[in-house]
Each structure stands twice: as structure tokens, then as C-alpha cells.
Structure 1
Amino acid sequence: MKPFDYVSVLLSFVISLVFAQVLTGVSHMIQSGVRRLSIPLLYWISFVLFLCVDYWFSIWGLHDLKGWSFAYVSLLLVFAGLLFLVARAAVPEAASNDPIDLTALYDRDRRKIMVLFLLFSLCGLIVNLTLPGFATSELFAIAVAMMMLFAAAWRWADARAQLVIVVLHAVLMTYYAVRYEPLL
């Protein structure tokens, strides 16, 4: 086996945990029901699932890398770990069988979720600079725009502002997915 095989298996374990965290939370929402819906929170939860798939595809870009260092593998683990922390913060846990108030959950945890997304994006920017074909000024601009949207979501609690941020982020991520996912 090549070093990439070992590293990809290790990173896949972490990303699988993220995926399982999200699916467990969603199944809990389905079983318990939802008292009040939060479109922004549902969007961010679905964005975490997108990030899981994007992470797997992005790591494949490293399959020909020859020099794996402990520092680089640690960076990739921190990157995956931050995604796990985002999922833990954004996805409701099974505390009871009562219907879940997603609006109250988002109002309470919005700032924590956005700080984690900001950290994840910053780490992602560093990782993207090392991926073949991803060290472009356009991707840098997308990452900065995404971080600005996370900062705006952290700053403004108004429901309309949150919806505008979600729409802008969805447009940005759709552009990213159409433009860059086929390259992977």
C-alpha cells in the first residue's frame, strides 16, 4: 500500500463520523418531529453533508503526492476534525422525544456554528492551496467570500439577514460545485 492509501483510510474514518453525526441528527428530527423550522439551520446541516463529499473528492486530488509529512497529515486531520465539530454544533442531538425547536437551537448556537465554519474555511483555504489545480485566485476569492458570509451570519441575527446569507452562500457553493467538482 502507498502512504496515500493509509492517509485516505484514516481521513475517511473521520469524515464517516461526520456523515453519521448528521444522519443521526436528521433521523432524530424525523422521529421526534420539529416544532419550529429553521431554514438557515437546515441549509447549514445540508452544507455539512456537501462538505463531506467535497472533502472525499478533494483528498483524491492528493493520490499522487509522494512526500507525506506528519505536519501535512495533521493539517488534513484538523481540517476533518473541524468539520466534525461543525456537525456536532449544527445538528440537534437526541435529548428527548419532544419535537425539536430548530429556530431556538439556531438562535442559541448560531455564533458557535459560524465560528466553527470560519475556522473550517480558513483551514480549507490552506489545504486548497496544496491541492493540484486548486491554488487559483478564483478559489481564493470564493473562500474569502464564504468566510465573509460566515462572519455576516455570526454578526446579524435578523431572520431576513440569515435567509439572504443562506441564499448568497447557496449561489456561491453552486458555482463552486459546477466549476470545480468536475475537476476532481
Structure 2
Amino acid sequence: MPMADTFRQGAGRLCLDFTRTLRARGTDHAVEELTDGPALSAWVGQCGPVAPVPGSVVPEPIVRDAQQLREAVYALVEAARSAGGPEAAGEAPRERVNQAATRTVPVPALSDSGELRWYANDPVTGTLALVARDALELVTSPAVTRIRACADPSCNALFLDLSRPGRRRWCSMDSCGNRAKKQRRRA
């Protein structure tokens, strides 16, 4: 199980960071990062606005639901990137994301000291609802044309290309981009 602060971020959207929890998607060496309740709690603690209460237990059905939501988000985003648009994802992924988006999300509040704090009765399902809502917003926005897959065939992570020319190739220059540069130099 990955420890806190080991999950990849920087995809440009929460929903795309969530899809990265299946590393090396589509390869023979794909790695599931959301293996159990502690792993899902760690992801929520690192990437969500509200960390789960230390020692809280995430039940196995919630972990399976999170994995299924991740795959539905991925299918929806991939369909939205295609000529068929988000409707090409089919009913099952659309319904799973729509259903997750109906859950109660974390809410912001201003503390007595003037800091923004987030609150949720259930940080895990609340963060998953934010993921679903972010996915729905992304696949119906003009930004969908800026979603890219990493050019590293052993990575394939999705990211939102926010560069001015719109020609970013790597999910991260620190990992995939540098690896490609080293390979070119060696060649």
C-alpha cells in the first residue's frame, strides 16, 4: 500500500489525479494503488480537502466502489476525448459517475482565525463525490480538448494540458519526461 504523499498529483484536475491510482494502466505491469481501506484513506488525506479521522476504517465495499468509480471516470474521460463524446462511454459508467456525484460533498467554512476549513461527515465518500462532480464538469467543458495521455507508453496517465501552446507530452517532466530525455541521449 502506498504511504501518504506517494500518490501522483499534478494532472490538473482531481478526477484525473484519481484515475492515476491505477499506475501503468493498459500495460502488463499495471499497479493498483487503492488496494484497501488504509490506501483509500491515504489518497483522500493527500488529495481531498478533508482528511479522514485517524484510525477510521474504510469498509471493503467502499474501496471496491472507489475502484469502480475510478474506472467509470476513466471510461467517461476517454469517451469524451473521442469523436463520440462523453455519451460514447455508455450507460454504466455514466450512471456510476452520476450516482457518486449525488452524495454529500465536503463543505467549506471560515474559522474564527480567518482560515478556510473543510468539513465532511464522511470524508471518503464526500471526496469521491467531488471526484465524480469534477469528472462531469470536465467532460462537458471545452477543457476536454486539452486532456492528454502521457507519451510514455509505460505510463499512459491522463493529464490536463494547461500549457499555452497545448503541446505538453508528459504527465510529469520530473519522471516520464526526464526518462524520455535520458533514453534519447543514450540512443
TM over 0.5: no
| More relative contact order, 1 or 2 (CA 8 Å, 6+ apart) | 1
**Structure with the bigger percentage of strand:** 2
TM-score scaled by length of structure 2: 0.30
**Structure with the bigger percentage of helix:** 1
TM-score scaled by length of structure 1: 0.30
